[in-house]
Structure 1
Amino acid sequence: MDFLINLFELKDAKNFFNVIVFILVINIILIFISYYYDKLSKEKYDKRFKAYETSLKDLVEEFRSFEVMLVEQKKTMDEYKYNFQRIEQEISRLADSHSSEQNVTLAINLAKKGLDAESISKQTGLPIEEVNPIIKYHGG
């Protein structure tokens, strides 16, 4: 304890030098401690940064896989759409064909009953150019 008391009395130059050396040593120790804790915090933040970077890369890969999956689903949906349109066209064609056959059959029956071309055309929806040959071959 006497050392500390003598240290701060500043009676002579030796004590003053001891005080300066003591303060210098304390400062150096504090600087090393601060550098050490700074290094520890930088390492901690570096680990976090690397973890975030890895997570970000994983997310990017997941988004890319979702993109590929959505592109494939779009292609599949386009194929379904194309097939649906073709089936719809085929159904329309068959319906028109069936309707046309029914109209022709109705026109033949009406021609056999003796109706004229204009009334058969109105009832069946067939043009008069198609009704005239029907009357010619099937007319009563």
Structure 2
Amino acid sequence: MLLFKPLKYAFDHFHISFTRDNTGAFRLKLFDPNIRNTRLIDMVIDSSRNKKVLDATQITELCENILLMQEPCEFDVNTTFGDVDGNALAFIGLERPFNRCLYLHTSVARILALENGWVEASYDFPDFWSDVDLNDKMDFFSSQSSGG
């Protein structure tokens, strides 16, 4: 999945995952409460060095520059992981992550969260192992056959 770097880092380290709700949307699940109040911008990590890309001075300068912009910025640099907890993934095209892969990732994240005491033992999520439901297949087929 192509994710914003801070989300990718948290996803790769099982701090977050995505569950599928009853509407078929994939929603971000924050497993690690220790990063709930961490701004996304503070987690821009260079994965090859496992080091933050922006230091405190650079982040302050970035925030100041955004405030000076003539056009409104749609990204709030103060957005935290807690702010995006429960938000649905937005997709540009028809491509979707494989449910099995996401389900496996979420299951592993849940196990690690239980071991770390981040979630209660009673926490669970609906099974979304199967790849695509019939409605998604029919929507795709209809859009292809109508030339769209």
Q: Structure 1-normalised TM-score?
A: 0.18
Structure (1 or 2) with the greater strand fraction: 2
Q: Which has the higher contact order (CA 8 A, sep 6+)?
A: 2
